[in-house]
Amino acid sequence: MTPELGQLALILALLLALAQGILPLLGAWRGNHALMAVARPAAAGQAVFVAFAFGILTWAFLHFDFSVQYVADNSNLELPWYYRIAAVWGAHEGSLLLWILILNVWTVALAAFSQKLPEVFASRVLAVMGLIAVGFLAFTLFTSNPFGRLLPMPSNGADLNPVLQDPGMAFHPPVLYTGYVGFSVAFAFAIAGLLGGELEQAWVRWARPWTNVAWAFLTLGIVAGSWWAYAELGWGGWWFWDPVENASFMPWLVGLALIHAQAVTEKRGSLRAWTILLSIFAFSLSLLGTFLVRSGVLTSVHAFASDPRRGVFILAFLTIVVGGSLLLYALRAPRVAGGKPFQLLSRETALLIGNLMFAVAAAMVLLGTLFPLIGDALNLGRISVGPPYFGFLFPLLMLPVVLLMPFGPFLRWGKGESPLLKQVLLRAGIAAAACAIVAAFFVDGKLKAIAGVAALVWLGVGVLLYAYKRWRDVPPGRRYPAEMVGMLLAHLGVGVFVAGVLLTESLSVTSDVRMAPGQTQHIGSYDFRFDGAHRTTGPNWKADQGVITVTRDGKPVTVMHPQKRTYLRGQVQTESAVDAGIFRDLYVALGEPMDEGNIEGAWALRLYYKPFVRWIWGGGILMMLGGFTCAADQRFRVKRAVAVRADLVPQETRA
Amino acid sequence: MNRLLPFIGFMLLMGLFGFGIWWNTRNDPNAIPTPLLNKPAPAFNLPKLYEPTQMVSKADLLGQPYLLNVFASWCIECGVEHPVLEAAAPSLGVKLVGYNYKDAPADAKGWLAAHGNPYALLIADESGRTAIDFGVYGAPESFLIDAKGVIRYKHIGPITPDVLATKLKPAIAAMLKEAP
């Protein structure tokens, strides 16, 4: 009976979402306060019902209710309780429900924090959120009902995809979705801004903290996904340009452009149309990501749903939402290029170049991801272009960004000063060159590694120089507003990330070896001794587990236990063993026994020595912290609409 | 007009997607002729993946038919066809030769270790230069080459169970019947 309650709750949520999406819009149009007042209670009610439905599904998983098709497909009696909770979003139907739940969390937060915004504007924003929810609730109810029954009820279920049985999986999708869905807020603000028209750029300031938080969550989600792939897929890679990764990466890139464009629009009034367009694109790409992953239009290891009905529904939904908003943009976007003028040498120009690069990179990724589809349309067959394409073009596009980044903060709005820039160029350039020369001796002259060190120093010194300039020029207390600290953190994160990527790529040592018990393999400066393999069991798997003792100059470092797991349904899954460190990871994956049936004998093993690989994720974490810190800036606390103007003045000097 | 551009561009993209869905439900996307069909396969001389010092040339493979399967670790669709090949390899009737395309050898070995290795022989074309002679423009692609070194059938895209049953197996059967 309870699963039907869940379905009923979803239907009620859909009705409330309809009310939330339509009535406040009518109210804002006719000036009817009663209709506008519907927005908040409707949003709250919708959230309650969605949370209830989500709770019911979780309860069904925890109580092994295999009469529910989705539960029977994705869990079984042996699956431990924590993976049964993660299984709620382990496949298509449940992850949609999670999407909706997170959308509701954002909407409720928006309803709570938008009370000081003008009434008409706030009700429009909430209405747009409601309309998005209508689309997704309808999609769930009509094509992907998670509460569908299975009769007769099986005595045991299938299994959660073993690739997903990892602590990273419990954590990765919710965070990623929080980021994805968070862009709906910036989108709703932009649409409300377009509908209102008269508000001009005021909405941009209100949207900024939301965009920053969404982007920071997306960053964390991507970092978690990359780390999960590294730990779980068993061959030491951290990014594969897989369509699903690209689906999260495109909104990230556009979100990045949006964050910077919003800063220009808010402070200087320029780039207004561009900011609106980016707000629409960031969310559209989130929707597109859902479409690509869910429709099965592109085949991928991730695509767990393929059903043309779903594809058609999402396509129609996308056409209405994105096509509609782009049409609205065409009709209502600000006609006059407003804002204060700026010269060629100015912060606006630097940010524009960055924006251009991010947008082009996003388009490049989109093209590469859609290539199989385009190939189909042009009758060339389904082929993927893969990393040879992305790996060549992406660094090329990001090179100018990295080179220009240290100058950005030093440039003034409107008109920059070139002596100051020359000073920065000289100092950061000399520091980078000096460190690169020293590094060359440590890395045997490997160019990529040297470039990594130089990039880190270049960006790091740029950040430090600017921090020092603030310290020198600005009186205490006003030196480091949160917005600026966030910017510096994120830029430093880019340096750490670039260094991590380049150092790992050039200095990693990989070895595929056959090892008999007792044999030792020397990799990097470490000795890996294989101490044989044995059988072991977990709650729902059996595994062969190798024991590898690692020593360095005779001193013990660690003992590693890579596994080859066989899950109940016979799926085989490699569990690599990772010994993490700030400067290096040791990574061991168990291959096949040389002699089938004699697991005590020799094994094929893959041993990796991966220096600085943690820096890749460390850099991502710094970028994320930057996003959150920016959003926490006092300046973004909405006072009454009038009071907002008062602190516009200090920015002129701050810039 | 300018402001309509994003809208128009987006609608074109949607048209492409709609077409993609329609095409997928209706058509076999993989049927396309190759100019090399029924012509001798281009000559090649490539190292083995696992013993890079040993070279394999076209002449070495003459005398018995084989299926040349172009794959790469970075290629997602290859992961789709891989289990199919793995299951079909023993009963295929011809030798399965893996052609590792534009791939770092370490990545390829890692990928094969993770997904299994159905290939009787593996050759590596890291630069992708020889693949140009074959007219390969992406992975996966498969060439059925007979004992005289003539390309008898080409398939672009992943070999699905359906493709295997309706296209590849008949092509192999026809070839074997003709020249036992």
Chain A residue nearest residue B138, CA to CA: A383
* Cβ proximity of A561 and A574 under 8 Å: no
Distances (CA, A) of A591 to A292, A342, A534, A568, A573: 33, 60, 14, 20, 11
Contact partners, residue A35, CB within 8 Å, separation at least 6: A23, A24, A26, A27
Q: Which has the minimum average pLDDT: A343-347, A524-528, B21-25, B118-122?
A: B21-25
pLDDT, tens digit (0-9, with 9 covering 90-100), for A410-420: 888 888 788 88
B80 in A contact zone (CB under 8 Å): yes
Contact partners, residue B96, CB within 8 Å, separation at least 6: B66, B67, B69, B85, B89, B118, B119, B120
Contact partners, residue A461, CB within 8 Å, separation at least 6: A406, A427, A428, A431, A432
Pairwise CB contact (< 8 Å): A297 & B17: yes
Whole-number pLDDT of residue A655: 35
Using only C-alpha atoms, what is the Rg of chain B?
Answer: 18
**In angstroms, what separates the C-alpha of A451 from chain B's closest C-alpha?**
21
To test the contact with chain B by mutation, choose from A254, A287, A376, A590 the residue with the greatest count of B C-beta atoms within 10 A, namely A376
**In angstroms, what separates the C-alpha of B180 from chain A's closest C-alpha?**
32
B75 in A contact zone (CB under 8 Å): yes
B72 in A contact zone (CB under 8 Å): yes
Cis geometry, peptide bond prior to residue A152 (ω within 30 degrees of 0):
yes
DSSP for A255-302, please give it: HHHHHHHHHHHHHH--SHHHHHHHHHHHHHHHHHHHHHHHH-SS--SS
pLDDT, tens digit (0-9, with 9 covering 90-100), for A39-86: 999 999 999 999 999 999 999 999 999 889 899 888 888 888 888 999
The C-alpha atoms of residue A19 and residue A2 are separated, in whole angstroms, by 26
CA A192 to chain CA mean position, Å: 25
pLDDT, tens digit (0-9, with 9 covering 90-100), for A162-188: 777 877 777 888 899 999 899 999 999
Closest CA to A163 of A229, A70, A94: A229
The C-alpha atoms of residue A270 and residue A274 are separated, in whole angstroms, by 9
Pairwise CB contact (< 8 Å): A383 & B139: yes
Residues of A in contact with B76 (CB under 8 A): 242-243, 298-301, 384, 386
Pairwise CB contact (< 8 Å): B32 & A381: yes
Pairwise CB contact (< 8 Å): B138 & A606: no
Pairwise CB contact (< 8 Å): B113 & A592: yes
pLDDT band for position A646 (cuts 50, 70, 90): very low
To test the contact with chain B by mutation, choose from A235, A366, A564, A609 the residue with the greatest count of B C-beta atoms within 10 A, namely A235
DSSP for B31-78, please give it: ----TTTTSBPPP-EEEBSS-TTSEEEHHHHTTS-EEEEEE-TT-HHH
Residues of B in contact with A390 (CB under 8 A): none
Whole-number pLDDT of residue A323: 93
pLDDT, tens digit (0-9, with 9 covering 90-100), for A230-289: 887 766 788 888 878 888 999 999 999 999 999 998 888 888 889 999 999 999 999 888
CB-side neighbour CA atoms (13 Å) of B90? 1
Whole-number pLDDT of residue A382: 59
Low-confidence ranges of chain B (pLDDT < 50): 28-32
* Cβ proximity of A633 and A486 under 8 Å: yes
Q: A642 pLDDT exceeds 60?
A: no
Pairwise CB contact (< 8 Å): A574 & B106: no
* Cβ proximity of A135 and A99 under 8 Å: no
pLDDT, tens digit (0-9, with 9 covering 90-100), for A294-326: 665 554 333 333 456 777 787 888 899 999 999
Pairwise CB contact (< 8 Å): A377 & B23: yes
CA A118 to chain CA mean position, Å: 31
Which alpha helices (H) appear in A336-385, and where do they start and end? Answer: 347-377
Helices A2-30 and A39-62 pack at an angle, to 10 degrees, of: 160
Q: What would the two tokens of residue A647 be?
A: 């602190």
Residue range A526-547: mean pLDDT, rounded: 89
Chain A residue nearest residue B117, CA to CA: A592
CB-side neighbour CA atoms (13 Å) of A106? 35
pLDDT band for position A649 (cuts 50, 70, 90): very low
pLDDT band for position A487 (cuts 50, 70, 90): very high
* Cβ proximity of B61 and B46 under 8 Å: no
pLDDT band for position A380 (cuts 50, 70, 90): low
Pairwise CB contact (< 8 Å): A299 & B32: no
The C-alpha atoms of residue A68 and residue A157 are separated, in whole angstroms, by 10
Closest CA to A515 of A608, A598, A607, A604: A604
Pairwise CB contact (< 8 Å): A299 & B80: yes
Using only C-alpha atoms, what is the Rg of chain A?
Answer: 27
pLDDT, tens digit (0-9, with 9 covering 90-100), for A571-624: 778 888 889 889 999 999 888 888 777 788 888 888 899 999 999 999 999 999
Closest CA to A404 of A461, A342, A485, A350: A350
- Phi/psi of residue A587, each to 5°? -140, 125
pLDDT, tens digit (0-9, with 9 covering 90-100), for B124-161: 988 878 888 887 767 788 999 988 888 888 888 788 88
Whole-number pLDDT of residue B107: 83
* Cβ proximity of A408 and A350 under 8 Å: yes
Query: What's the length of chain B?
Result: 180
* Cβ proximity of A495 and A619 under 8 Å: yes
Name which residue leads in pLDDT, A204 or B179: A204
Whole-number pLDDT of residue A131: 95
> In sequence order, what are the beta bridge partners of B164?
none
Around Cβ A356, how many Cβ atoms within 10 Å?
14
Pairwise CB contact (< 8 Å): A234 & B114: yes
Residues of B in contact with A562 (CB under 8 A): none
CA B144 to chain CA mean position, Å: 10
To test the contact with chain A by mutation, choose from B22, B24, B86 the residue with the greatest count of A C-beta atoms within 10 A, namely B24
Distances (CA, A) of A44 to A39, A47, A104, A121: 9, 5, 8, 18
> Average pLDDT, whole number, for chain A?
86
Pairwise CB contact (< 8 Å): B158 & A373: no
Residues of A in contact with B80 (CB under 8 A): 299
To test the contact with chain B by mutation, choose from A278, A309, A383, A608 the residue with the greatest count of B C-beta atoms within 10 A, namely A383
Chain B residue nearest residue A311, CA to CA: B21
Helices A119-143 and A308-318 pack at an angle, to 10 degrees, of: 170
* Cβ proximity of A308 and B25 under 8 Å: yes
Secondary structure letter of residue A154 according to DSSP: P
Whole-number pLDDT of residue A647: 40
Helix (H/G/I), strand (E/B), else coil: A218: helix
Residues 93-132 of B with CB under 8 A from A: 102, 106-107, 109-111, 113-114, 128
Chain B residue nearest residue A605, CA to CA: B113
Whole-number pLDDT of residue A295: 60
Give the pTM.
0.80
Pairwise CB contact (< 8 Å): B139 & A386: yes
To test the contact with chain A by mutation, choose from B1, B3, B115, B167 the residue with the greatest count of A C-beta atoms within 10 A, namely B3
